[in-house]
Structure 1
Amino acid sequence: MSRKVDHLVVLVHGLWGNPQHLDFLRKSLLEKYTEDKIHVLVTKRNAGSFTYDGIETGGERMAGEVEETLKELAQAGQDIKKISVIGYSLGGLIARYAIGLLYSKGLFEKITPVNFTTFATPHLGVRTPRRGYWSNAFNVLGARTLSTSGRQLFLIDHFRDTGRPLLSLLADADSIFIRALAQFKHRSLYANVINDKTVAFFTAGISQTDPFERLEEVKVNYLNGYEDVVVDARNSVSPKEPEVLPVSRQRLTIRTCAFFKKVPSIAFFLIFVPIGATLLLTTAAIQSVRSRQRIRLHEQGMAGLDVTGYRIPLIINSARQEMEDMYENINIQQGQDYLRAGEEELASPTQQRTFSFSQQQDLVGSDADSTMHEKSEDQLEFPTLALTEHQFKMIEHLDNVGFKKYPIHIKNVRYTHAAIIRRMDIPSFDEGRIVARHWLDHFEL
């Protein structure tokens, strides 16, 4: 290698993914910076069903791959001085785990962390923020179809001897993972506001509210130069003149909408469960067995990676003792539930439920029976989602470390989870080009 590069950029794919899913991001990077300035590593050891094996196992594989790449580059005469990490979907969580391991081994004392970015990553897990039988059924079944990764994403795992979900530990203020994240000069995330059937906006955007759930009732505001795709997070939505309807039609509309919202859930349980559940659960069982076998070999160091170097203390100080899935279509149709009156103290203090566009307003209570209220000409209020205590804590700790958040409004395709990174080279995913351009315009070399 005759070229001299000093910046390693690591790309990490998502659930059931493979390195080819990140081709557009990789090519976009190299078109802007060329190979004489950066070296791009697209991780490959968690491809396909290997993503069933859990965030911990995936993070250890990724950390090993990064260290091996750095060693190879050093042997080829490349002096890497900077590192950036980009994670897509589940890959963002695997990346957050891996950078904690690399930080604990002293890598960031020798190499400067520059950019950390996630695209459509479920930072708060994929548990549906709803109450009631249907939602509980989805959360229970979904958690058991993706082996270890499923349990972690639905927050029903107990990681090691902590008695807490792994994602809770991953966001603990005293953990190596938050310490590592704080080392990066720039932290950003991109979250789809509609039609992401795998990762909802609230979890990708680390938000306890969803200003975009009833998009037809608000005006969306975009960043200059990235119109109609990249939303201005500081002024994401503003009031829209409502259509005045007779009271009788308003009641009819509300009831009709409520009925049709329930139709997908009813159809799912009447049609899909009897016909498809047996096949789905059989496949899930087979993959779970294979995953457990891979994890056992990984733990024993028989999978090509010595994991003993990564089994270090995950909490630096004494921790406070706090406690693309298979149902994507039904998940996106279920809607969301909110905190009830008197439960506001459960919410994260780092976020407000009132959105003001002239000046920041004081935090006010929300009506759990409504998705949105107009407070004044320039102020909207959105109720707090019915998240778990762990999820509210995650929001608080991740907000404290700081992310630049960019809501993404992709309209030309109904599978925005893939379009946000232009996972396939098809015209309907072209809005992903604008997302990539914004990302690269804010990428520090």
Structure 2
Amino acid sequence: MHLVVLHHGLWGNISHVESVIPHLKEQHPDLLFLNIDTNQGNLTYDGMDVCGDRVVQDIHKFMETNPVEKISFIGYSLGGLILRYAVGRLYNEGFFKIVTPMNFVTLASPNLGTSRKQSVLNSIFNSIQTNVLVRVGYQFNLQDNYIDGKPLLVIMSDPEYDFYKGLALFKRRSCFANILGDRSVRYCTASITSTNPYNRFEPRIIDPEYPQIVCPDETKPKQPVPWTVSDIAPTALKLVAVPVLLSIWLPVATIGLGFNATRAKVRQNSLAIENSWVRASREDIDDISKENLDQSSKENLQATHIEEINDSDLEDPNKLLSTEAPAIQVEESIDEVDLKQKTVRELMIHNLNQLEWEKVDIYNDKAFNAHAAIVLRKPFNSDEYRYPLVYLANKVFHH
């Protein structure tokens, strides 16, 4: 049997990803589903690792009564990062020697974190996010010290750790990203890229059957939207209404989020943070490397140095069903990078993109909240927003 593990996002619950199930069932009626319910609500504050460990426990419990031969993961928003951690833990246990990894899908997930470029406003945003979201906030902003001064997301993007090795085994990896209207997860972090092509080019529909799936049309440079008289009234209304609404919403939100953050900090003191297995897996590599150094000549060692990697060097995805992760060539070890430099993000992008991803761009200009619409969360659960999930079921998911 083929098990599909689903996970919601920050502050979320199982209802947020329930719409994925009927779309997949319509195309693949014999699938089994495990919609993770042990990280709902404020439990997501606990961190990607703690939540990921709960996912692993839930999978083991499910398999006690359900035989599983294949497994796929679909993570929405933060859920995609939690599942990446869980995959690393499962790989470390030897899980994928028994169960075949098939699909790994992220839906509007901040694969590179949520830290924004340096500016006064963005610094305020990053600071608020870190303090309000407690442990997971530090992880989002790459400000946590998970192992040896390195953030968890950086470690999860390092080919020498089990998180990356486990991810490399999947037959298909896909990331869905909103190009517009997603104020929670920006395009570049969702699509694992350093630039947004839609800042320069208009979107083009790839297939009329899926009108919200687009690619950049390089024959149509993006044109500035002209100002018209009809824009004056709604713009003036926003200028008046936004400050009023913020003055009402901010105090309420601050109290609510502050209360939740305080509870999460208290709970954090009792959390069992177990990361020795991550360090041990890396130490095993170091031991092997030392042995190889002793046995190899300097000439052979120099032959292993890699300069630049082209897309043509990527592994054939059909070869990724081996229980051993393919060897990935990287320009430089994350150990050698100053974590305060922007090159950390660039290195994460580079390393993750050495794995083959199907990148699906979503253009939903009708939804005020594209982040919710991508999974048909209420109130964006009408048929007009269904195309990303239909595309996932019909074109992306491999059974």
Same fold (TM over 0.5): yes
- Distance in 2, matches of 1:412 and 1:121, equals 21
Pick one of 317, 337, 340 that aligns with 2:285.
Answer: 317
Aligned to 1:286: 259
Determine if contact 1:195/1:415 at 8 Å carries over to the other structure: yes
Q: CA deviation at 1:290?
A: 2.0
Structure 2 SS opposite 1:401 = coil
Pick one of 141, 155, 162 that aligns with 1:154.
Answer: 141
Cα displacement string for residues 209-256 of structure 1 (whole angstroms, at most 9, x for unaligned residues): 011236xxx332222244431113xxx22233787x9xxxx9x98xxx
Aligned to 1:440: 393
Pick one of 38, 47, 58 that aligns with 2:31.
Answer: 38
- Distance in 1, matches of 2:355 and 2:79, equals 20
- Distance in 1, matches of 2:221 and 2:343, equals 36
Q: CA deviation at 1:276?
A: 6.0
- Distance in 2, matches of 1:310 and 1:282, equals 38
* Structure 1 pair 109–50 and aligned structure 2 pair: CA distance change class (3 A): same
Query: Which is further off, 146-155 or 25-34?
Result: 25-34
Structure 2 SS opposite 1:188 = strand
Structure 1 SS opposite 2:346 = helix
Structure 1 SS opposite 2:359 = strand
Determine if contact 1:147/1:287 at 8 Å carries over to the other structure: no
Pick one of 193, 198, 211 that aligns with 2:179.
Answer: 193
* Structure 1 pair 224–308 and aligned structure 2 pair: CA distance change class (3 A): closer
Aligned to 2:211: 228
Determine if contact 1:229/1:431 at 8 Å carries over to the other structure: no
* Structure 1 pair 32–286 and aligned structure 2 pair: CA distance change class (3 A): same
- Distance in 1, matches of 2:71 and 2:45, equals 27
Q: CA deviation at 1:24?
A: 0.8
Aligned to 1:12: 7
The AA in structure 1 aligned to 2:27 is: K
Cα displacement string for residues 134-156 of structure 1 (whole angstroms, at most 9, x for unaligned residues): 22122222221111111111222
Aligned to 2:217: 237
Determine if contact 1:211/1:237 at 8 Å carries over to the other structure: no
- Distance in 2, matches of 1:141 and 1:166, equals 20
Query: Which is further off, 190-199 or 273-282?
Result: 273-282
- Distance in 2, matches of 1:83 and 1:391, equals 30
Query: Percent of aligned positions with the same letter in both sequences?
Result: 30
Task: Let me know the Cα RMSD of the aligned residues.
Answer: 3.4
Q: CA deviation at 1:59?
A: 0.7
Determine if contact 2:175/2:191 at 8 Å carries over to the other structure: yes
TM (normalized to structure 1)?
0.69
Pairing 1:298–2:292 present: no
Cα displacement string for residues 364-398 of structure 1 (whole angstroms, at most 9, x for unaligned residues): xxxxxxxxxxxxxxxxxxxxxxx922211110111
Cα displacement string for residues 354-373 of structure 1 (whole angstroms, at most 9, x for unaligned residues): xxxxxxxxxxxxxxxxxxxx
- Distance in 2, matches of 1:154 and 1:139, equals 7
Pick one of 91, 94, 98 that aligns with 2:79.
Answer: 91
Query: Which is further off, 103-112 or 271-280?
Result: 271-280
The AA in structure 1 aligned to 2:369 is: Y
The AA in structure 2 aligned to 1:71 is: E
Pairing 1:184–2:152 present: no
* Structure 1 pair 144–349 and aligned structure 2 pair: CA distance change class (3 A): farther
Higher helix share: 2
Pairing 1:56–2:53 present: no
Q: CA deviation at 1:423?
A: 1.7
* Structure 1 pair 14–113 and aligned structure 2 pair: CA distance change class (3 A): same
* Structure 1 pair 49–314 and aligned structure 2 pair: CA distance change class (3 A): farther
Aligned to 1:141: 128
* Structure 1 pair 197–165 and aligned structure 2 pair: CA distance change class (3 A): same
Q: CA deviation at 1:271?
A: 7.3
* Structure 1 pair 15–142 and aligned structure 2 pair: CA distance change class (3 A): same
After TM superposition, the structure 1 = structure 2 runs for residues 305-344 of structure 1, keeping only pairs within 5 Å, are 313=280, 315=282, 317-318=285-286
- Distance in 2, matches of 1:313 and 1:231, equals 43
* Structure 1 pair 443–151 and aligned structure 2 pair: CA distance change class (3 A): same
- Distance in 2, matches of 1:66 and 1:101, equals 12
Name the count of aligned residue pairs.
342
- Distance in 2, matches of 1:239 and 1:271, equals 43
Aligned to 2:302: none
Pick one of 349, 365, 380 that aligns with 1:411.
Answer: 365
- Distance in 1, matches of 2:151 and 2:92, equals 21
TM (normalized to structure 2)?
0.76
The AA in structure 1 aligned to 2:23 is: S
Pick one of 101, 114, 122 that aligns with 2:102.
Answer: 114
Determine if contact 1:410/1:431 at 8 Å carries over to the other structure: no
Structure 1 SS opposite 2:5 = strand
- Distance in 2, matches of 1:192 and 1:15, equals 17
The AA in structure 2 aligned to 1:297 is: S
- Distance in 1, matches of 2:348 and 2:132, equals 24
After TM superposition, the structure 1 = structure 2 runs for residues 71-82 of structure 1, keeping only pairs within 5 Å, are 71-73=64-66, 78=67, 80-82=68-70
Structure 1 SS opposite 2:83 = helix
Determine if contact 2:85/2:163 at 8 Å carries over to the other structure: yes
Aligned to 2:157: 171
Q: CA deviation at 1:166?
A: 1.3
Structure 1 SS opposite 2:174 = strand
* Structure 1 pair 168–309 and aligned structure 2 pair: CA distance change class (3 A): closer
